Structure 1
């Protein structure tokens, strides 16, 4: 009996001990295992939000690494003490941010412990300018003014009214959503492929959007004009536009035929313009001279009527003379034709002919003595050269009787004795 009582008492003590340990662990579960090492870090914030409380999670990359051990305000900033599980290093470039844990405004602190190259943080407080404050939903909604909130409320209400009674449609959408999302995943994969060049496309889009900077007023006017144009096209429920579009195929066919028929005339026009181009360029170059002629021509042209009036009788007499001389024209034409050969021959000696008459003038004007004029005349006689047909030169002849054009002044006797007059040159 006594042993049974002792055993029951021992079992009760063990049960109380287990209960006490359970209660102890329950009360300290949020702060980790009792006696385990802890690391304390202090971070300052400008605003942590009312929902952040002692015991809230401290996370790193969304994994829990500790809890909020203390929260107090120092002037205009809140200093939060973070109790990290274990002895973990925290560096001088550490950062902290107050995030929302759920839609019920429960908060957590996301900690970035920094990099070893920055050195240990020690007892320093992470400054508030490096941390990210809490952004509550009511603060987000504060940026919306009254009309915007009313419009947002109306939108939510209308979406709810529109969705009412469409549970089957929503069910069908959710039923087919996996297949659609698979296609969307394929599309996203194609867009992210290197061959798609999506970053370059986004860069070009950003540059295009940047080019609109400063031109908002022009764009607004363009959109307004486009709206006015669309409104004009929609008059009478768009019937005029519909009729126009209906007639457009036949009109385009006729226009194509007309354009085809213009091909040959346009080709001819191109050739004509190419041929006229040199003349047009010459006309352009001659325009200054033509302008000068037209500017200076009025005075001479003003005298033309008087000259023409005085020349009238002479021209009338000249007409009769030309009529009487008309029979002589054939004979004169033949004479000029016959004269062409000797004139062409003499033309080669034109310089010598002029020199001949100059020397004749010099000869008759030279006085040997007062009142007496003298001249020496040489006679060229063909000798051996005539007998040989010009193959052998005549050694007794000092000059060529028939010199080539321009050779007469350069003639000289090859024989040291010149028995014929003419002299040696």
Structure 2
């Protein structure tokens, strides 16, 4: 609920100091810009900060606090108000809030924590960077001009995905903690600076390559800006998709509970599979040896099959006679009488048996000195000699 009136909603806070807090600076309420710092006064050796809030964010509630955070790494600080519980009593216009200003770790404190050799190496690093950038000022300026729109597009992306004041406050808090950790780990920092120094020396030695790289950065940043411009629209379209997935995700809990008995029933099966897997592992261990033996054997088998082609081509025309002889031989001894099995022998004699002149063929006799294979059994094989279709 907003208070009545047209003027700003004013509150005060007493802080240990007001270093880098400026009049007219922005004021955040629960992460959103909601007003300005009206004035800063000295009162009993402390800073009394007066803040004017927009009526849309008024009134505050009992328990509201003021915290001074970082707006930039080395300059202005931001004034952040965290409102109390909405069910708490409302604070009147002109109320005094509890304020705190954590001591931040400055870059000067970090540099002062380094020993003399590390500072010398850092000085050498700066010199090497100066040498690497000498002559590349135009490319660097073009890169910085191009990076402006890209950074602006990145800011829109961060705003689209929900980045706000509390996230920035957490980032600053973690940065402060990181700087304290760096000050405590002097040896690791020295090692990092040594490595960066060697890298800078290498970059200075390859000045032409650095110049070409800087020359290619502006077009790359232009493409990055175009890509980042498309990201907010994609995020906006993804939100309805996530809302549509919510009913399905709510059903995952019952499905998981229904799967629990099935997984319990699968435990004996997995135990039974263990010997099978062991046997499979043993089989796979023997497979390389088997393949080696097969590799040595297959060439010999191939050679043997190749050598059999000529004998088989000779035997092929004779196969009908061989098969007819085998079938007739089995039937010749199939008859039996009261004395047992008996065989019949049929002798065919004719005029050609007594004539000693092959050129004279008696009437009713056909002379065929070269019958086709299978002719004797009534199954001529016309392609035995390769004249027909096989």
TM-score by length of 2: 0.31
TM-score by length of 1: 0.29
- Structure scoring higher RCO (CA < 8 A, sep ≥ 6) equals 2
